[in-house]
Chains A and B, each alone.
Chain A
Amino acid sequence: MLLLTCPHCGIDADETELAPGGEAHLTRHGPGATDDDFESYLFLRDNPRGVHLERWRHANGCGKWFIAARCTVSLEVFGTYPAQTARPPQHVLDAIEAKRPGATRKLPVMEGAR
């Protein structure tokens, strides 16, 4: 059972209050995109063993989307943040690095920041 703190309403929400939304920070490729980009946007997902950024909606709560940074192996949660951002905030990156040195550089969303 996961407990994630909703950054919009502050509740430590039990997983049963939440709806999962899959991998976060996807780049949306729409009309005019190459077939490869469109395919990757629609179908191809990262499935890491370790640090993962994923979307959740506080469905049985305030209704808002947020993103959780957690470890898929230990289920440790490094932080949560509102979904209205293209990148994880620095305090979340710092929390990940403190526990998993080097892990943030491997996050797909941070590839452009290398």
Chain B
Amino acid sequence: MSDATVLGAAQAEGFATVREVPAPGMIALKGDLSSPALAEAVRAVTGCAVPGLRRIEAAGPACAGWMAPDEVLLIVQRGDVPAALATIAERLSGAHHLAADVSDMRAVFRLEGAGAREALAKLAPVDLAPGAFEPGELRRTRLAQVPAAFWMEEGGITLVCFRSVARYAFDLLAGAAAPGGAVGHFA
């Protein structure tokens, strides 16, 4: 297991705050999202129901997010990943599926503060207006030139991208949130 941060918990203060946070345990689970066995596996590992289209379910720190018609992202404590994979293998034995520990594949950032929506809206082709994007939705998109996914929780936005582009993503976010850069579009 590698370090859970890539940039040493880098932080930038602007009209929104950007900080790298330790990557939690993340499991990519592909399979038939409508099957009862998969629902049981997701429930056993996260306490969450299988998320509906583009939704993310949360049960405490554990989450289950919809990534594709045949894929969910399960977020658990990092130390719980091996047990979670064993549980999934057991619940889905005999059913075609794939479960992979992708914790070390990703970097995770938090955007916080009143300008968080606006900073992100500069970088992604997504309507981030209040009402158009709200807690409970998980959006996969791009952040300038790299793929990313994000959702709102606890008064901020959590964003994940590939670990290999962590520096690029952090610099983008820090630049978009830089002091003096507020547009007030959602104000």
Interface, chain A (partner B; CB < 8 A): 8-11, 13-14, 16-17, 59-64
Question: For the complex, what is the distance from the CA of A8 to the CA of B53, rounded to whole Å?
Answer: 9
Picked from B54, B67, B142, the residue with its CB within 8 Å of the CB of A11 is B54
Hey, which chain A residues are within 8 Å of B54, CB to CB? 9-11
Hey, which chain A residues are within 8 Å of B67, CB to CB? 62
Can you list 14 A-B contacts (CB < 8 A)? A8-B69, A9-B54, A9-B68, A9-B140, A11-B54, A11-B139, A13-B125, A16-B125, A16-B142, A60-B141, A62-B67, A63-B140, A64-B68, A64-B69
B142, chain A: closest CB distance, angstroms: 4
Question: Which residue of chain A lies nearest to B68 when distances are taken between CB atoms in the complex?
Answer: A62
B147 within 8 A of A: yes
Interface of A is mostly: loop
A-contacting residues, B67-100, CB 8 Å: 67-69
A63 pairs with B68, CB closer than 8 A: yes
Question: For the complex, what is the distance from the CA of A64 to the CA of B140, rounded to whole Å?
Answer: 12
A60-B140, A60-B142 as given contacts; A14 in contact with B68, CB under 8 Å: no
A110, chain B: closest CB distance, angstroms: 27
Picked from A8, A10, A61, A64, the residue with its CB within 8 Å of the CB of B141 is A61
A62-B67, A62-B69 as given contacts; A10 in contact with B142, CB under 8 Å: no
Cβ-Cβ contact count across A and B, 8 Å cutoff:
33
Size category of the binding interface on chain B? 10 to 19
Hey, which chain A residues are within 8 Å of B125, CB to CB? 13-14, 16-17
Interface, chain B (partner A; CB < 8 A): 53-54, 67-69, 125, 139-142, 147
Q: 9 nearest interchain CB pairs?
A: A14-B125, A60-B142, A62-B68, A60-B147, A61-B140, A8-B69, A63-B68, A60-B141, A16-B125
Other A-B contacts than A62-B69, A62-B140, A63-B68, 13 sampled, CB-CB below 8 A, are A8-B69, A9-B53, A9-B68, A9-B69, A9-B140, A10-B53, A16-B125, A16-B142, A17-B142, A59-B147, A60-B141, A61-B141, A62-B67
Question: For the complex, what is the distance from the CA of A60 to the CA of B142, rounded to whole Å?
Answer: 6
Hey, which chain A residues are within 8 Å of B69, CB to CB? 8-9, 62, 64
Question: Which residue of chain A lies nearest to B67 when distances are taken between CB atoms in the complex?
Answer: A62
Which of A10, A14, A62 has the most chain B CB atoms inside 10 A of its CB?
A: A62
Question: For the complex, what is the distance from the CA of A60 to the CA of B125, rounded to whole Å?
Answer: 10
Question: For the complex, what is the distance from the CA of A14 to the CA of B147, rounded to whole Å?
Answer: 14
Hey, which chain B residues are within 8 Å of A10, CB to CB? 53-54
Question: Which residue of chain B lies nearest to A10 when distances are taken between CB atoms in the complex?
Answer: B53
Question: For the complex, what is the distance from the CA of A11 to the CA of B54, rounded to whole Å?
Answer: 9
Hey, which chain B residues are within 8 Å of A59, CB to CB? 147
Question: For the complex, what is the distance from the CA of A10 to the CA of B125, rounded to whole Å?
Answer: 15
B54, chain A: closest CB distance, angstroms: 6
